[in-house]
Amino acid sequence: MTPQRYAILRYLMESYTHPTADDIFRALSPAYPSLSVATVYNNLKVFVDADLVRELTYGDDSSRFDADMSDHYHVTCTNCGTMVDFDHPPVKQVEDAAAASTGFSVLGHRMEIYGLCPTCKGMHS
């Protein structure tokens, strides 16, 4: 594992902000002057393929990356894009109901929750 690869993975594991590749690049480039955006993207792909990191794709926004591979949901601010974890037991009943009513072999689900974060809510009050 290269020092850059290790730094990217460590940054993801210590981050709770669900950063984009550009966020990671901006955070690490001062300490790693030879780091490129392409290197960050390539390493993120390696981590996703190895099931070390989850890629979160929502709409047209840049993908965000999460090193927490446990089953959990996210709440996203529609104003600033902040994304935070929301701890709630996975809604397994939804998957069971979908399988029962459609005959599908359900592989998983994604629930998206949107709103205004506390900072943005204060600005819009």
Element holding 18 (H helix, E strand): none
User: Using one digit for the tens of pLDDT, what is the confidence trace for 3-40?
Assistant: 999 999 999 999 988 999 999 999 999 999 999 999 99
Find out whether 80 is annotated in a ligand binding site: yes
Q: Find out whether 117 is annotated in a ligand binding site.
A: yes
Binding site annotation covers 109? yes
Contact 65, 21 (CB under 8 A): yes
pLDDT value of position 1: 74
Model pLDDT for residues 60-92, shown as the tens digit of each residue: 667 999 999 888 888 989 898 888 988 777 788
Domain boundaries, the chain: 1-68, 70-125
72 is in an annotated binding site: no
Predicted confidence band of residue 59 (pLDDT cuts 50, 70, 90): low
Q: Which CATH number is 70-125's, of 3.30.1490.190, 3.20.20.220, 3.30.565.10, 2.30.40.10?
A: 3.30.1490.190
Which fold would CATH assign to domain 1-68?
Arc Repressor Mutant, subunit A (1.10.10)
pLDDT band at 111; cut points 50, 70, 90: confident
Contacts of 67 (CB under 8 A, 6+ apart): 9, 12, 13, 15, 52, 53, 54
